[in-house]
Structure 1
Amino acid sequence: MTSIQSSARMVGVAAIAVSTSLFLGACTGGSGAAERNESGTSTTWLEDLEPIELTVSHNPPEKTPSAQAALAFQRAVTERTDGKVTFENFFASSLLTAGADGIDGIGTGTADMGDIVPFYSPAELPVSTWASNLGAVRYDTLAESQVVGSAASFFDYMESEPIAEEFASHNLKVLATNATTPYELICTKPIDSLDDAKGTRVRAAGPIWTVGLEALGMIPTTVAFGEVYEALQRGVIDCTLIPAFGFIDYNYLDVAKHHIPANFPHTQAMAWAINLDVWNSFPVELQRIIQEEAVHMPYDVSVGHLEKTAEFGEASEKSGIVHHDPAELNKVLDKRYSDVLKDMVSTAPAQIDDPQSYIDTYVARVDDWRTRTKELGNLPEQGQTIQDYYLSLKDPDLDWYLNELRESVRSKIP
Structure 2
Amino acid sequence: MAITKSVTRAFLLAMLLIGFGQASASETLRLALGYPPGSKADEVMQKYAETVKQYTDGSLSVKVYPMSLLSAAEISDGVRDGIADIGVMYTVYFPAMYPHTNLLNESAMQLLLLDPEKLKGKAAMAFEGAMSEFTLFHCPECLEEYEKQNQVYTANATSISYGLLCTSPVTNEKQLKGKRIRVAGSHWSRWAKHFGATPTSLTINETLEGLSQGVIDCSITSPVELINLGLAEVVTDMTLAIPGGLYAGASAAGFNKNVWQGLTESQRHAILRAGASTTALSPWSSLEQVPQALELAEKEGIKQHDPDPALVKATREFVEQDMNTIVNYYAKNHGVKRGKEMLDSFHDVLVRWVDLVQDVDSPEELEKLYWDEIFSKVDVATYGMK
TM-score (norm 1): 0.77
Please report how far the alpha carbon of residue 174 of structure 1 lies from its aligned counterpart in structure 2 after TM superposition. Answer: 0.5
AA partner of residue 214 (structure 1): K
Instruction: Tell me, in whole angstroms, the C-alpha distance in 2 between the residues paired with 1:410 and 1:231.
Output: 38
| CA distance 1:405–1:231, change in 2 (3 Å) | closer
The reply on whether 1:108 has 2:81 as its aligned counterpart is yes
Match of 2:211 among 197, 219, 232: 232
Instruction: Tell me, in whole angstroms, the C-alpha distance in 1 between the residues paired with 2:223 and 2:25.
Output: 43
Give deviations 1:338-377, integer Å, cap 9, x for gaps.
Answer: 2221223334458755333311221111111111233x14
Please report how far the alpha carbon of residue 82 of structure 1 lies from its aligned counterpart in structure 2 after TM superposition. Answer: 4.1
Match of 2:318 among 336, 340, 347: 336
Paired residues, what number?
A: 345
Match of 1:266 among 208, 226, 246: 246
Equivalent in the alignment of 2:176: 197
- Do the aligned residues in 1 keep the contact of 2:25 with 2:263 (CA within 8 Å)? no
Give deviations 1:104-163, integer Å, cap 9, x for gaps.
Answer: 221121111101111210122222222222222225346322111111111122212111
- Do the aligned residues in 1 keep the contact of 2:34 with 2:205 (CA within 8 Å)? no
**What 5-or-longer segments of structure 1 have no aligned partner?**
1-48, 379-396
Please report how far the alpha carbon of residue 304 of structure 1 lies from its aligned counterpart in structure 2 after TM superposition. Answer: 0.9
SS in 1 for 2:121: helix
Equivalent in the alignment of 1:288: 269
- Do the aligned residues in 2 keep the contact of 1:142 with 1:181 (CA within 8 Å)? no
AA partner of residue 200 (structure 1): K
Instruction: Tell me, in whole angstroms, the C-alpha distance in 2 between the residues paired with 1:351 and 1:201.
Output: 29
- Do the aligned residues in 1 keep the contact of 2:163 with 2:238 (CA within 8 Å)? yes
| CA distance 1:253–1:72, change in 2 (3 Å) | same
Please report how far the alpha carbon of residue 224 of structure 1 lies from its aligned counterpart in structure 2 after TM superposition. Answer: 5.3
The reply on whether 1:143 has 2:108 as its aligned counterpart is no
SS in 2 for 1:189: coil
Instruction: Tell me, in whole angstroms, the C-alpha distance in 2 between the residues paired with 1:207 and 1:278.
Output: 33
Stretch deviating more after TM superposition (230-239 or 357-366): 230-239
| CA distance 1:209–1:50, change in 2 (3 Å) | closer
Instruction: Tell me, in whole angstroms, the C-alpha distance in 2 between the residues paired with 1:245 and 1:331.
Output: 26
Equivalent in the alignment of 1:212: 191
- Do the aligned residues in 1 keep the contact of 2:181 with 2:216 (CA within 8 Å)? yes
Match of 2:234 among 233, 241, 255: 255
Please report how far the alpha carbon of residue 60 of structure 1 lies from its aligned counterpart in structure 2 after TM superposition. Answer: 1.2
| CA distance 1:302–1:173, change in 2 (3 Å) | same
The RMSD of aligned alpha carbons is 2.4
- Do the aligned residues in 2 keep the contact of 1:208 with 1:265 (CA within 8 Å)? no
Please report how far the alpha carbon of residue 306 of structure 1 lies from its aligned counterpart in structure 2 after TM superposition. Answer: 0.5
Equivalent in the alignment of 1:59: 34
Which aligned pairs between 1:28-39 and structure 2 lie closer than 5 A?
none
Please report how far the alpha carbon of residue 267 of structure 1 lies from its aligned counterpart in structure 2 after TM superposition. Answer: 0.9
SS in 2 for 1:241: strand
Instruction: Tell me, in whole angstroms, the C-alpha distance in 2 between the residues paired with 1:219 and 1:344.
Output: 19
Equivalent in the alignment of 2:291: 310
Equivalent in the alignment of 2:327: 345
| CA distance 1:187–1:362, change in 2 (3 Å) | same
| CA distance 1:412–1:284, change in 2 (3 Å) | closer
From the two aligned structures, give the one with the greater helix fraction: 2
**What 5-or-longer segments of structure 2 have no aligned partner?**
1-23, 380-386
Instruction: Tell me, in whole angstroms, the C-alpha distance in 2 between the residues paired with 1:189 and 1:122.
Output: 31
TM-score (norm 2): 0.82
Instruction: Tell me, in whole angstroms, the C-alpha distance in 2 between the residues paired with 1:246 and 1:208.
Output: 20
Percent identity over paired residues:
21
Equivalent in the alignment of 2:9: none
| CA distance 1:399–1:53, change in 2 (3 Å) | closer
Instruction: Tell me, in whole angstroms, the C-alpha distance in 1 between the residues paired with 2:226 and 2:367.
Output: 27
- Do the aligned residues in 2 keep the contact of 1:77 with 1:289 (CA within 8 Å)? yes
Which has more radius of gyration?
A: 1
